[in-house]
Chains A and B, each alone.
Chain A
Amino acid sequence: MSLDTTKIIKIFSSGDLPRDHKGIIGVFGIYAAYNLNEFFYKVVSRALMKVSPEEAAQIETQLYEAVLECAYQTFHGARTSLTWEQEVSPMIRSPEEEIEALVAFTNVFGIGFLEIKELIPGKRLVIQVGNAYDPKRYLEEYGPQPVGRCYMFRACTASYMDLVYGPPFPRGKGTFRCQEVRCRSMGDPYCEFVAER
């Protein structure tokens, strides 16, 4: 792979996001907002800790689906944007490089750095994240967790595969499912996500 991911990160992290006259940020066909990472961690962890493990798993599945929709729509909006067409598409020579470009694009949202560790075209994607916010906080506040807590990265990982190797947009969402096989909240040194059909 020889994609200039640093350039992609620079393109999409520079400048201010466009806002309408009412202050709402609209970009790539979605409405975006910043929030404190601590907000997302606290609100989700408090809900999970109040319910049974089965109910917690159900909540995490719902959150996974919400992020999957978010990622699928946002990444598709990005890859069909004028900026992508002008700046990124000329660099992409294969579906695998499109995956790499989408991962680089994700690396501007402030959620922790995603790295591709393995990509078997059309079959399997392995992503690692060493600095996700939530796992560290779970360890600090609740101790080691019985399961991985990174629903957000699981869904992102699946969405790359859905977009690139699944049926054409918008029919591909859910073609791949992702498991978190390692999580810092469980005591692992990094979080690892495996998406497969």
Chain B
Amino acid sequence: MNPSKFTFKKVFYPTANQIELEGSLVSLHCHHFNCGLLKVFEELKGIDGISLLEKTAEEVFYQFFPSYLCRHPEINTPAQKLEAAAALYHFLGYGLLDLGALTPKGGKAKAYSSYYVTAWLAKYGRRSQKICYFTCGFLAGVLAVIFERPLFSYRVIEQKCLMLGDDYCEFLVKEASQCP
């Protein structure tokens, strides 16, 4: 994956303190907040906070990614769109993704670096649970766009994680219709 092949138009409006990325508002946050938010959601009582995090990431990137592709008609094959999704993930600061092995039926994706692993290690230290919930949601969202499926068409499960000492994070992608 060569993230620099793709461009992402980011505009900062200094009198409004707004950052627009390809037409959508984004903001920059540090690991103390991002990990703190994740911890709050992991510990929520009576709510499946992890599922909420994943589904929300899935939904917002399912909405965002088509608008990016509309602005970049030169990205027009599934292979190019997979590369563009990995480049977006890198641009946002979440790390390096390899999506080259994915097909409309699913497959496996790998991450060779992970913001949440790096961030959590810096803030709280090592843990024995996988942590890349955001990535699961991101992948499910963009893959539904790339393979022209409805929202929530894919289920993504992290099988390996850098947090656990694995060499990379690995995500199993399955069609939701094939899952129990």
Contacts and interface: CB of A to CB of B under 8 A. Distances in A.
B32 A69 contact: yes
A173 to B, nearest CB: 11
How big is chain A's contact interface, by range? 35 or more
Interface in A25-46: 25, 30-40, 42-44, 46
Given A23-B3, A31-B118, A34-B21, A109 B44 contact: no
B17 A6 contact: no
Nearest to A6: B14
A59 B91 CA distance: 30
B12 A33 contact: no
Contact of B24 (A38, A44, A112): A38
Nearest to B32: A70
A38 B31 CA distance: 18
B56 to A, nearest CB: 4
Interface residues of B, number: 53
Interface stretch (B45-53, B74-82, B101-109, B148-156): B45-53
A30 B52 contact: no
A109 B31 contact: no
Contacts of A37: 24-27
Contacts, number: 170
B17 A113 contact: yes
Interface in B9-27: 12, 14-19, 21, 24-27
A20 to B, nearest CB: 8
Contacts of A171: none
Contacts of A112: 16-18
26 contacts: A22-B96, A23-B90, A23-B94, A23-B96, A30-B30, A31-B31, A31-B115, A34-B19, A34-B27, A36-B64, A39-B56, A42-B56, A43-B41, A43-B52, A47-B41, A65-B36, A66-B33, A66-B37, A67-B33, A67-B36, A70-B30, A110-B25, A110-B27, A111-B17, A113-B15, A113-B16
Interface of A: 6, 9-10, 13, 17, 19, 22-25, 30-40, 42-44, 46-47, 50-51, 55, 59, 62-63, 65-67, 69-70, 73-74, 106-114, 131, 133
